[in-house]
Structures are given as C-alpha cells and as structure tokens.
C-alpha cells in the first residue's frame, strides 16, 4: 500500500497518516479476534480497567495519529469533543474507531471509518475532505481508501501487510442489491415507495446491520444501494455525518456512485456539530436519483 501511495505521488505526510492508520488496524483486528468483550468502566479480577473494544480501538488510532506529528485535530465518535493536537498540524481526522461494535459478540463484520481534512477544521462540508478510508474486519481484513483519485481496495496478507486487490473501483449506474436500514413500518411514503420499487424490480435484500460491510458490498460488487433513511420516529436518521456518512460518501463518489440525504448531496451538507445525524441513500447513481425523485413527489 505504501508503494501504491508513493507511485501516485501522494504527499509524504498524507502517506504516513494512511499507513499509520493501516498499522493501527492490525492491532484493532487482533483485539476484535481475541480481546475481551468487557464493558468500559468495569474492572477485571486484577483491578485493571476493562475496555470496550470501541474504546480500545479509539485509543489505538488516537495514539498512532498523535505520534505522526502532522495532526491538527481529532474528532472521534467515542469522544464528546474535538481534540486539538497541534493547531499548526497539517491534517485533521474524523473517525468512527469501531463501527458496528455491537455486532462483535455475534461475530459479524465490523469496521473503522476515517475522513481526512486539510488544516484544523473538521466541521467543514465533506466535499472539503482530501481523503477517506475504511477498514473492514471480516473473514478477511480489507482496507479501501481514496485521496481523490479513485477508490482502491487492499487486503491484509499473512504478514499483516496490505496488498492491492483492485484499483479504481467502479459502481454501476443501477444495481440489483439493496441494504435497507431502520424499521420498515417507520418508513415515510417516498422511502416506502422506493423500497417497493426495488422489490418489484427484483432487487435482492443484502443487509448485515454493519455499515462498513454493507457499503463494502455495494463497492466491491460494483452496484446497489444502501439506505438508512429518515424514519417517522427518527426524522434525522441514525448515522453520523462526520464519522460515518462523509467518508463513505467520498469513497462512493470516487467510485462513480452517489450519496444523498434524500434532498441534497451528503458532501455538501454543513455539519451543525460533531453529533450531526442525517438520513442516507448511497450507492448506484440512478438508484439514489430515483429515491430523491420519490421523496420529492410524495413527501413535500
């Protein structure tokens, strides 16, 4: 992966950040595979505090990132505030250290999601990002990144190094798989009409409940749509703009797909704060356009 970044003449410091994130993921995958599923705030027999895996993942990334010497600020889903590391730092990060951590006990796939910004401001629209990546901890450990020149997939080998699987992933205009989050009886008319439309078209339901594997499926199969819509009882949706949606929107757009909140491009939204949530429809362009059209027709 380092070679891939070098060949593409990426900035050396950015290369360093991405490679350090890749190294962090080795420790995270080890913790997932063999670590305690303990709850944060409790102590073990020896009086040592037990860490929830997502707190551990957060610490692993934070520590490595701080040591790069090029990070200005860090916003993590596990932290209530933005941490300033060095106001003159070159890059800032917004990350979800372990998305889907509640799926670890049932042994389903989980992931790490990271958005990279230039300068110190992570509260700018996602289109200002200069890079994004996710790591998927599944039966195999894979890493998908983009620095604005396509979206590329790597897989961890026996030496725990990431080697190239696929360069310039492409998402087809229309797909025949869909991953619908949230509770169907809470769907609003436009979203319900969209899902009925997909079913009538013969689209296959492919939902794992983990955002990273669900998005990875759309990217790697090269078609389909993921949605976690606004719900009647959850009008702002569930997923977080900073930590989850922006990085995925960046990666999917770089692969020729689209990401919308039903009305607007995700990457154009101005974050209202670190907790900002948004509905999301993401994947094949025509599918995203279709749901926007149905929401406009049936919900305004």
User: Of the candidates 15, 101, 203, 254, which one interacts with ligand AHG according to CB under 6 A?
Assistant: 101
Q: Which does 203 bind (CB under 5 to 8 A by kind): ligand AHG, Mn ion, none?
A: none
214 binds Mn ion (CB under 5 A): no
d(CA 71, CA 88): 8
Q: Taking CA 242 as the corner, what is the angle to CA 236 and CA 244, rounded to the nearest 5 degrees?
A: 80
150 binds ligand AHG (CB under 6 A): no
Residue among 197 and 238 whose Cβ is closer to Mn ion:
238
* Residue 202 burial class via C-beta count within 10 angstroms: exposed 0-12, middle 13-18, buried 19 and up: exposed
User: Of the candidates 20, 77, 278, 287, which one interacts with Mn ion according to CB under 5 A?
Assistant: 77
- Residues 222/171, Cβ–Cβ less than 8 Å: yes
Q: Which does 187 bind (CB under 5 to 8 A by kind): Mn ion, ligand AHG, none?
A: none
209 binds ligand AHG (CB under 6 A): yes
Q: How many CB atoms lie within 10 A of CB 102?
A: 12
58 binds Mn ion (CB under 5 A): no
How many separate helices (H) and strands (E) can be counted in the chain?
7, 13
Nearest to 126 by CA among 229, 245, 218, 282: 245
Near Mn ion by CB under 5 A, which window of 20-28, 76-84, 121-129, 253-261? 76-84
Least distance CB 60 / ligand AHG (angstroms) = 16
- Residues 130/151, Cβ–Cβ less than 8 Å: no
User: Of the candidates 145, 178, 228, 281, which one interacts with ligand AHG according to CB under 6 A?
Assistant: 228
The 44-83 contact track toward ligand AHG, x by CB under 6 A, reads ---------------------------------x------
Joined tokens for residue 203 = 């689209």
H-helix or E-strand spanning residue 295: helix 285-299
- Residues 296/264, Cβ–Cβ less than 8 Å: no
90 binds ligand AHG (CB under 6 A): no
Least distance CB 102 / ligand AHG (angstroms) = 6
Interacting residue ranges for ligand AHG, rule: CB under 6 A: 77, 96, 99-102, 181-182, 209-211, 228, 238
Interacting residue ranges for Mn ion, rule: CB under 5 A: 77, 96, 99
């Amino acid at each position: 992966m380092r070679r891939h970044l070098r060949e593409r003449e990426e900035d050396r410091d950015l290369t360093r950040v991405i490679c350090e994130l890749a190294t962090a993921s080795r420790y995270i995958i080890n913790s997932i595979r063999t670590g305690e599923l303990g709850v944060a705030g409790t102590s073990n027999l020896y009086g040592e505090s037990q860490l929830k895996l997502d707190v551990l993942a957060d610490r692993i990334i934070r520590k490595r990132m701080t040591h790069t010497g090029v990070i200005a600020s860090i916003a993590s889903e596990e932290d209530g505030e933005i941490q300033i590391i060095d106001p003159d730092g070159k890059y800032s990060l917004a990350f979800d250290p372990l998305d889907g951590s509640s799926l670890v006990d049932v042994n389903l796939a989980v992931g790490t999601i990271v958005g990279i910004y230039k300068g110190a401001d992570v509260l700018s629209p996602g289109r200002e990002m200069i890079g994004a990546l996710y790591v998927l901890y599944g039966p195999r450990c894979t890493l998908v990144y983009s620095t604005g020149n396509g979206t590329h997939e790597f897989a961890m080998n026996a030496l725990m190094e990431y080697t190239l699987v696929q360069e310039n992933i492409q998402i087809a205009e229309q797909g025949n798989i869909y991953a619908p989050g949230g509770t169907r009886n809470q769907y609003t008319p436009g979203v319900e009409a969209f899902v009925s439309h997909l079913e009538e078209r013969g689209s296959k339901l492919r939902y794992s409940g983990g955002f990273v594997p669900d998005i990875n499926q759309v990217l790697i199969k090269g078609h389909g749509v993921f949605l976690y819509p606004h719900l009647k009882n959850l009008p702002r949706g569930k997923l977080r703009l900073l930590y989850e949606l922006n990085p995925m929107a960046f990666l999917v757009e770089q692969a020729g797909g689209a990401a919308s909140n039903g009305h607007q491009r995700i990457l154009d939204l101005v974050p209202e704060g670190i907790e900002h949530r948004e509905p999301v429809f993401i994947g094949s362009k025509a599918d995203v356009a279709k749901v926007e059209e149905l929401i406009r027709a049936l919900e305004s």
